[in-house]
Amino acid sequence: MSIDKRKALVLLSVVVAAAIIGGIVLNAYSTANAQTTINGEKYWNCGVGWATGDMSAEMRGWSRGGMRGRGCCGFIEVSEEFKENVINIAENDTDVQNLLNEGYNITEVRPIIKTIVEGDGSVVMKATSAIVMLEKDTTSHAIVKVDVENAKVTEMVILTKTVIEKP
């Protein structure tokens, strides 16, 4: 039995596409519950991610790596001072101001931790940037990346949910 090369290539392409889509879906479900609440305080585990498509690596999760290795951070408690600083930077951006005027509310601030191993082997960790989560009526969400060191918003992703009911 011989298979036409064209048919074989199409079949192989379908299998590869299915594998890629399956991996994206599994990753989205595996990282969906990465938030832990202890005594009413929210902490973020490693590997937090969203299957939103066109986001930078840092906005998909904890700075390249998540639970798979580099960037794993365990439980992080964020001070009110850090949150206020990040929120002030975000609120000074005109695009974020427009979202707030449209009815969005800031719901969370998530730090992005940068870990550096110095020449002498010492390890330095610093929150160089953060993710600000905004929500409007549970149907619209915005994810804003804030560069804390340069005091500016560097990226924004807006997600909206549209429900279409069919008769």
Length, in residues, of the chain: 167
Strands (E) across the chain are located at 35-38, 41-44, 105-117, 123-136, 140-147, 152-160
SS3 of 41, please? Answer: strand
Output the six-digit token pair for 56: 């930078």
Output the six-digit token pair for 156: 């924004």
| pTM of the entire predicted model | 0.55
DSSP β-ladder status, 123-136 and 140-147: antiparallel
pLDDT tens string, the chain, 167 residues long: the values are 566 788 878 888 888 888 888 777 666 555 544 554 444 544 444 443 433 333 444 444 433 333 333 334 456 788 999 999 999 999 999 999 999 999 999 999 999 888 889 899 998 888 899 999 999 987 889 999 999 999 999 999 999 887 778 87
Amino acid letter for position 5:
K
Determine contact, residues 18/12, Cβ cutoff 8 Å: no
Q: Please name each of the domains of the chain with its CATH number.
A: 31-160 (3.10.450.40)
Strand order through the sheet with 152-160: 105-117, 123-136, 140-147, 152-160
Taking the C-alpha atoms of residue 16 and residue 21, their distance in angstroms, rounded to an integer, is 9
What φ, ψ does residue 145 adopt, rounded to 5°? -95, 125
Token pair 């110095």 is found at 118
> Which of 113, 107, 105 is closest to 148 using CA atoms?
113
- The angle subtended at Cα 124 by Cα 120 and Cα 126, nearest 5°, is 160
